[in-house]
A and B are shown apart, each in its own frame.
Chain A
Amino acid sequence: MGNLGVLERLLMDVLWDTGQSLPANELRDRLLTPAAAAASRKRLATTTVLTVLSRLENKGFVSRDRGSRPHLYRAVTTRAEHTAELMLEVLGSAPDRQAALARFIGNVSPQEADSLRLLLSPASAASDGARETGHE
């Protein structure tokens, strides 16, 4: 399981970096990096790559083009979009988008952030205060 997890991550890195559709055997060739070799111990078989690809497809990260022979695989979205999805779930204020994760700090109101910043650095209080009074 652990090895497959590492391979999943390496495979996604390849797909994210190329951004195009690739067949499994070419993906295997591109995976021939030291890290992947360590994870699979021996030469990486195409069947292993296919297993990992179908796992990723089930999880919704990879889509398969069945119209061509051999099948072509590509990443569903970019790495940045997935990261954004993750961060939205962690930081987002819409309760339905959160998985009720216990965070170190939840959402901070602007007022709270201001007072915390002042609390941390009394030296910068003057400039912040000037910004505040400018509004009044």
Chain B
Amino acid sequence: MTALARPGTSDAKPGAVPTTALVLGALALALAWPLPILLSRARWPARSPGLALVLWQSIALAGGLSMIGALLAYGLLGFGTSPLAGIRSLSDHPGSGAVPVGMTFGQVLALAAGLLLAGHLLLNLAATFLRARVQLRRHHHLVALLSEPLADRPGTRVIDHEAPVAYCLPGATTSATVLSRGLISLLDADQLRAVVAHERAHLLQRHHVVLLAFRSWRSALPWFPIATRAETAVGLLVEMLADDQARREVDDRTLATAIALVGSAHGPVTGAREPGGPATRPETGTRETDAASLAGPDHPFDLLTPRLRRLVVPTPRLRRHQGFGVLAASAGLLALPTLLLLG
């Protein structure tokens, strides 16, 4: 990629080699397809979920930047050494009502597409957060009316429902951890402590912000399967991070039992209404009764088996230099399109 350091070339007329646009385009492709696939299949994120979460955010952000940047860079080819310089040189132009001299039809299209994509992604992000805020406020009101505070646990509320449920309700002023009666009767004191610590971690580490950002990305690009994959992967990593906090309070076995108890009690409540269940996927190892059943391939949306596996089978964290490698890759992925755009 020595071509990066040749600002003179893109100064030429349209028809010159669009180096910046090509590099950004290649980066956008890599970040849209092979890299997320590799990352979602990798085993190491279970060892250091926090680092993997950083990398996912970097991929999403850099992917969006380079997708938009490639379109803008092509559209502004010949109007400056970088997209930013191009925008500057045309900044007083839009008032004149004519297409700038020397701009091809393809460039106009690319420019419009880039601006539309940027606007679409940003507006969708804003809409997702606003909608979530409205939903959360309503949810807070409902919880306040329908639940009772749990004695000697501030910020924890109990709702009268038989399904075993635990979740956290982030709020600007008051956050709450909500437990159901079903959960409390299902788990013993230690397991309950694990669940509460897990939910506390979600609140403290503000996981809902990351989840919402990735949900917005998916809903903005519904035709883009990688966005769904990323949302699932991020959802799992967030659970692992919260599990790691819970492991500081209880031993791994207690947490694993709590996960398995709540998970197995959930099946009939939410998903087990499909009569053809056993026939559709005969290859899943449901007959194995020990940790061996955790060794098989994961279902695409299986969020429990990977969590249990790392509690049952010892999984050391990434080594220090490997961790630095992940962080450096994340920073590099973000820096490349940013530098190309700003020139």
The stretch from A17-25, A37-45, A88-96 touching chain B is: A88-96
For the complex, what is the distance from the CA of A107 to the CA of B207, rounded to whole Å?
Answer: 18
Known A110-B267, A119-B290; contact A87-B163, beta-carbon cutoff 8 A: yes
Kindly supply a per-residue 1/0 record for chain A positions 77-91, scoring 1 wherever the CB is within 8 Å of any chain B CB and 0 otherwise: 001001101110111
| A67, B130: Cα distance in complex, Å | 36
Q: How far is the CB of B203 from chain A (nearest CB, A)?
A: 8
Q: Enumerate A97-135 residues with CB–CB distance to B below 8 Å.
A: 98-120, 122, 125, 129, 132, 135
A103 lies within 8 A of B165 (CB): yes
Instruction: Please indicate which of the listed interface residues A9, A89, A101, A120 has the most CB atoms of chain B within 10 Å of its own CB.
Output: A101
> Does more than half of chain B's interface fall in helix, strand or loop, or is it mixed?
helix
**Complex CA–CA separation, A108 to B305 (angstroms):** 10
Instruction: Give the interface segment out of B11-19, B40-48, B137-145.
Output: B137-145
Contact A116 B166 (CB under 8 A): no
Q: Which residues of B contact A132 (CB under 8 A)?
A: 278, 286-287
Q: Are B167 and A102 in contact (CB under 8 A)?
A: yes
List the B side residues contacting A114 at CB < 8 Å: 267, 286
CB atoms of A103 and B167 under 8 A apart: yes
Q: Is B211 an interface residue (CB 8 A)?
A: yes
266-325 of chain B: CB within 8 A of chain A: 266-272, 274, 277-279, 281-282, 284-290, 293-294, 299, 301-305, 308
Say if the beta carbon of A136 comes within 8 Å of chain B. yes
Q: State whether the Cβ of A57 lies closer than 8 Å to any Cβ in chain B.
A: no
Q: Is the CB of B141 within 8 A of A109?
A: no
- Residues in chain B near residue A85, CB distance under 8 A: 142
A112 in contact with B299 given A86-B142, A104-B167 (CB within 8 Å)? yes
Does A59 interact with chain B (Cβ within 8 Å)?
yes
B interface residues, tally (CB under 8 Å)? 73
**A27 within 8 Å of B (CB atoms):** no
Min Cβ gap B299→A in Å is 6
B261 & A120 in contact (Cβ 8 Å cutoff) = yes
Which residues in A have their C-beta under 8 angstroms from that of B279? 135-136
Alpha-carbon separation in the docked complex, A106 to B302 (Å): 10
Contact (Cβ within 8 A) B272 A113? yes
Give CA–CA (A103, B257) in the complex, Å. 16
> Of residues 59 to 80 in A, which have CB atoms within 8 Å of B's CB atoms?
59-61, 79
Interface residues on A, range: 35 or more
Whether the Cβ atoms of B161 and A116 lie closer than 8 Å is no
B146 on the A face (CB < 8 A):
yes
Contacts of B144 in A (CB 8 A): 5, 8-9
A12 at the interface (CB under 8 A from B): yes
Q: Which residues of A contact B270 (CB under 8 A)?
A: 91, 93, 107-108
Q: Which residues of B contact A60 (CB under 8 A)?
A: 138
Instruction: State how many angstroms separate the Cβ of B98 from the closest Cβ of chain A.
Output: 43
Q: How far does the Cβ of A126 sit from chain B's closest Cβ, in whole Å? A: 10
Among A87, A99, A118, A136, contact of B289 (Cβ-Cβ < 8 Å): A118
**Nearest chain A CB to B206's CB is how many angstroms away?**
10
Q: What is the minimal beta-carbon distance from A23 to any residue of chain B, in angstroms?
A: 21
B210-232 vs A, Cβ < 8 Å mask (1 yes, 0 no): 01100100010000000000000
Closest 4 CB pairs between A and B? Answer: A113-B267, A99-B135, A116-B264, A102-B202
Listed by A's residue number, 23 A-B pairs whose Cβ atoms lie within 8 Å are A8-B144, A82-B142, A82-B145, A83-B161, A93-B270, A101-B167, A102-B199, A102-B208, A104-B183, A105-B166, A105-B266, A105-B304, A107-B270, A108-B263, A110-B277, A112-B267, A112-B305, A113-B266, A117-B264, A118-B288, A119-B260, A125-B287, A129-B287
B: residues with CB less than 8 A from A are 132, 135-136, 138-139, 141-146, 159-161, 163, 165-169, 178, 183, 195, 198-199, 202, 207-208, 211-212, 215, 219, 235, 238-239, 242, 257-264, 266-272, 274, 277-279, 281-282, 284-290, 293-294, 299, 301-305, 308
* Known contacts A8-B145, A86-B159, A115-B285, then 18 further A-B pairs from the complex at CB < 8 Å, ordered by chain A residue: A5-B144, A59-B138, A61-B141, A83-B159, A83-B160, A86-B139, A90-B165, A91-B270, A99-B136, A100-B211, A103-B167, A104-B195, A105-B262, A108-B266, A110-B274, A116-B267, A119-B294, A119-B308
